[in-house]
Amino acid sequence: MAPHDQPQVAVVAFGQSDHLRTTDELSEVEMLMPVLHEVLAATGLKTSDIGFTCSGSSDYLAGRAFSFTMALDGVGAWPPISESHVETDGAWALYEAWVKLRTGEADTALVYSYGKSSPGSVRDVLTRQLDPYYVAPLWPDSVALAALQAQALIDAGETDEPALAAVASRSRTAAATNPHAQLRGAVEQGEYAVRPLRTGDCPPVGDGAAAVVLATGNRARELCERPAWIRGIDHRIEAHGLGVRDLTDSPSTRLAAERAGLFERPVDTAELHAPFTSQEVVLRRALRLADDVTVNPSGGALAANPMMAAGLIRIGEAAARIHRGASDRAVAHATSGPCLQQNLVAVLEGEARA
């Protein structure tokens, strides 16, 4: 199928849980189910109507093998469904679903992701995704690696501690109107976590889930008053060696954005997956965002960072703004790995309003 014959794909529904520090009383599927029901109710679809289902999660967070199979109980996988899973953020599950819909093999897709960080220590857990030969044996935690990137930015004159504090403050202030966020309103910058990053520069650790429904062409218009059309989506990765990379830049984000068509026309909204304040500095430059772009009106990952769901939430939040007419063209970004190693960029648009 030539690209111009491929069906256009839109986000037609988005739902997310309240993101909380702990959810002991809920298993993963119990945490996820209300979110699945929310997006199905919004579209009027039943699970049996969905053409393709794809999820993102990671066993390392809760310390249990094949945890995604338990979560499948939440989608009613009988009779058998067409289903897949990615062991990373749900934004990449959405990418897989987008590919499936573009092939014409399905006209609707349910994408969900979830993470419970509360059972373990996420700073330590994330060390297990590092190079196992040269880096992981040193156990550098996720905050330490982000702090190295932050210092590199400060040394390069790209930011300073007051500017980072301003990012933190703006994000949590924006989250005051987001009922799902974990940190809302004024939050102390606090002590150094790993200098130069203070606790206020770091994301909250918490549990949460998100879900999105995708649909193609006229099916999308039937299911949603103002679909958020995915005009382009792309993801790129950088060398795993941290010392090989220029940590002050994100060429993978820039390349993904270019391939997703971001630079063709300005956007009015950006939902950036920047768990650390310093990473927003890198992403703004890589995406060449103008000063008048509304960045992370949801509060972003600094207000709620449920691992494996926070990237999908960025796409969902951007789409939801288009659904309700608050945005016409938005960029959503998701990241994975240390210091913005892997990056996904999606450009979303609403059709012109009468």
Q: Which residues bind another protein (CB under 8 A)?
A: 24-30, 33, 36-37, 47, 60, 62-64, 70, 72-78, 119-121, 123-125, 127-128, 132-141, 144-145, 147-152, 155, 192, 194-197, 239, 241-244, 247
Cα 8 to Cα 11, 105, 220, 288, 321: the distances in Å are: 10, 13, 9, 26, 19
Residue 85: both structure tokens together: 């899973």
Nearest distance, CB of residue 53 and another protein, angstroms: 10
Rounded CA-CA distance 109/283 in Å is: 29
Closest to another protein by CB, 59 or 351 = 59
C-beta separation of 282 from 167 below 8 A = no
Closest to another protein by CB, 135 or 345 = 135
Closest CA to 260 of 54, 90, 88, 95: 95
Please count the other Cβ atoms lying within 10 Å of the Cβ belonging to residue 331: 29
Nearest distance, CB of residue 344 and another protein, angstroms: 20
Closest to another protein by CB, 327 or 341 = 341
> For 309, how many CA atoms within 13 A lie in the half-sphere containing its CB?
31
Rounded CA-CA distance 303/307 in Å is: 13
Nearest distance, CB of residue 227 and another protein, angstroms: 24
Closest CA to 350 of 253, 258, 268: 268
Cα 349 from chain centroid? 18
Residue whose tokens read 């939050």: 187
Closest to another protein by CB, 67 or 269 = 67
Nearest distance, CB of residue 86 and another protein, angstroms: 20
Nearest distance, CB of residue 17 and another protein, angstroms: 14
Closest to another protein by CB, 210 or 322 = 210
Nearest distance, CB of residue 207 and another protein, angstroms: 11
Closest to another protein by CB, 34 or 261 = 34
Closest to another protein by CB, 139 or 263 = 139
Rounded CA-CA distance 280/12 in Å is: 27
Please count the other Cβ atoms lying within 10 Å of the Cβ belonging to residue 256: 26
Nearest distance, CB of residue 28 and another protein, angstroms: 8
